Each structure stands twice: as C-alpha cells, then as structure tokens.
A and B are shown apart, each in its own frame.
Chain A
Amino acid sequence: MPDDLDAIIHAPARLRIMAALAASPDGSLLEFKRLRVLLGLTDGNLGAHIATLEGAGYVAVTKDFEGKRPRTRIAATKAGHAAYRAHVAALRAILDGGDVG
C-alpha cells in the first residue's frame, strides 16, 4: 500500500464512516444508531469500526442520556478530518496516475 494511504481509514466500512462524519456540519455529533442505519451496518460491526477509529484518535465518542435513554454520539476529530482528507487525496493521486508504491 502506498505510504500516503491510511491503513486504518482504508477499510471500506471505516472509509464510509469517516466520509459520513467528514460530510456532517462542523461540530455536529452523529447518533450511533442513526449512523448504523444510514450506512447499513450492524451494531457490532459499527461498534468495532468506531472503536478502531477512536483508538487512532480519528473520532470522538460521546455517551450521555436523552431523557432516560442512553445515547452514543460520534464526531470526527481534527486529526480524523485531516487523515480523511489526506487519504482521499492519496486515492485521487493514484487514479490520476501518481504513486502506487
């Protein structure tokens, strides 16, 4: 894999998660359950990918209560936004005939 590609973001599901988070308005938090429906992932699958992204510092997870119901919300961090943009730029460079490692 070319050096410019981010191994953590490159997995298709994580790429879609980061794309959705990066497209959301600045500072907004996406609800876990809505993100799961939006991307067609299972609870376990999304949870595992979010944990990986959180471990890399690319997303921040916020847990609180909405009334009596627990709520988990996710947002891309600054590092996550930057990593996603760099990853997409690297993919475009490959398509444009640049470095393929």
Chain B
Amino acid sequence: MTISNTVQAREEARLALAAAEDGESRLLAALIYGRASPYLILWGIAWMAGYVGTFLAPERGNTIWSVVTALGWATTLLLVLVQRRIGRGRRSRRGLRYSASAVLMTAYAALWAFVLLSGHANALGIYAGTVTGFAYLVAGLWRGPLLAVLGAALTLLFLAGFAIPPMGFLLYAGLLGGGGLVAAGLLLARCDPT
C-alpha cells in the first residue's frame, strides 16, 4: 500500500479503524448473546412452568407463580455469580442510545397504561410479558441487536393476547412466550464464539 498524501492517509486510517471497530463489536455482540442465552432458557422454562401450572391448577396459581419466581431469581443470581463479567463497554453512540432508551420508556409507559386500564381479563399477563419485552429491547439497544428483535417480538406476541380467551392465554403465554424464550436462548448460544 502506498500512502501518497495526508488526506489519503487519514481516509485509509479512518477506514481501517472502522474495520477494527466492526470486528470488535461483532465479537462483543456474540459474547453478549452467549451470556444472555442461559437466562432466556431459564426464564423460558419458568414461564412455561408458571403458565402451564396455572392452567392445570388455577386455584393454586399464586403459589405456583411465587415458587417459580423465587426459583427463577435464585437461579438467575447463581448464573450471575458463575458467569464472568464482561469488562469492556462500548463508548460510541452512547448518547443516541440514551435518547432511544428514553423514547422507548415513554412509549412503553403509554402502552402499559393502555394495557392495565383496558379491563381485559388478560391485562396483567400482557403487562408482565411486555415488561419483559421492554427489558430485552433496551438490553438489545445497548448490547446486541438480536436481543432488541427478541424484545419487540415478545411485546407483539403478548399484545396478541387481547384476542385470546383467558384460559387459552395461559397456555398461549406459557408455550409460545416461554418456548420462544427457550428457542431464542438456544439460538443465541450458537452465536457464542468461545
């Protein structure tokens, strides 16, 4: 390669640094997917257990969800302790991400008000699902686009719950929502480069 003048040299340096940033960011996103995968699988199984358990024994729904949630958080804590922390953060486009997070927060706040005030029998379930969807959407915004896609899909999946009868919603949320998380977790595990 011959660099004949300053302008050309700077342009080549800029392109080279962009290539380096591309390689780094792809690796970091893949690492994030690999680390996110066990959480998706864990909570996917928890959702399936909670919703299907409530479907089978509606009178014990509160107990089932209490146990499932406690086990879910305990296992999550264990996973956090076991997993190594990723030490490197991204500095670029941080401002844009803060703004996008604020916009998302506002939009979801409006959505949650609509859901909770709807008086629909599935409102609480839809609310819980969209909260999870929001969490993945924001995580995806900061850490890896596949998580954002997952968050958007979860939100849409649970909003479709308005069209489903209450008993059917338990199965729908358990199998499609929980199963979707497990499938996404397995998919992300395949992205882990290590």
Q: Could you list which residues of chain A lie within 8 angstroms of chain B, going by C-beta atoms?
A: 1-2, 10, 12, 15-25, 28-31, 34-35, 38-39, 88, 91-92, 94-95, 97, 100-101
Q: Which of B19, B22, B27 has the most CB of A within 10 A?
A: B27
State how many residues of chain B have any CB contact under 8 Å with chain A: 32
Q: Is the CB of A15 within 8 A of B20?
A: yes
Taken together as a complex, chains A and B put the C-alpha atoms of A22 and B28 apart, in Å, by 11
**Measured CA separation A95–B3 after assembly (Å):** 13
Taking a contact as CB atoms under 8 Å apart, the answer to whether A28 and B20 are in contact is: no
Question: Do A91 and B13 contact each other (CB < 8 Å), given the known contacts A34-B193, A35-B193?
Answer: yes
Residue of A nearest to B28 (CB): A23
Given A24-B31, A94-B10, A100-B9, also A39-B16 (CB < 8 A): no
CB-CB contacts below 8 Å: B144-194 with A: 191-194
Contacts of B19 in A (CB 8 A): 12, 15-16, 19
B interface residues (Cβ-Cβ under 8 A, vs A) = 1-3, 5-6, 9-10, 12-17, 19-24, 26-28, 30-31, 84, 86-88, 191-194
> A15 and B23 in contact (CB under 8 A), knowing A24-B31, A25-B31, A95-B13?
yes
* 18 A-B residue pairs with CB within 8 Å: A10-B1, A10-B16, A16-B20, A19-B22, A19-B23, A20-B27, A22-B24, A24-B27, A24-B193, A25-B86, A28-B194, A30-B194, A31-B194, A34-B30, A38-B193, A94-B10, A95-B17, A100-B3
CA distance A35 to B17 in the complex (A): 19
A32 to chain B, nearest CB (A): 10
Assembled-state Cα–Cα distance A49/B104 (Å): 42
Whole-angstrom distance from the CB of A76 to the nearest CB of chain B?
A: 11
What is the predominant secondary structure among interface residues of chain B facing chain A?
A: helix
Give the dominant DSSP class at A's interface.
helix
Q: Are A17 and B23 in contact (CB under 8 A)?
A: yes
Contact B20 A19 (CB under 8 A): yes
CB distance from A35 to the nearest CB of B (A): 6
User: Shortest CB–CB separation between residue B180 and chain A, in angstroms?
Assistant: 23
- A-side contacts of B84, CB under 8 Å: 25
The reply to whether B24 and A20 form a contact with Cβ atoms under 8 Å apart is yes
Q: Please give 10 more A-B residue pairs, beta carbons under 8 A apart, in addition to A2-B9, A18-B23, A19-B19.
A: A15-B23, A16-B23, A20-B24, A20-B26, A28-B194, A30-B193, A31-B193, A92-B13, A94-B9, A101-B3
B22 touches A16 (CB 8 A): yes
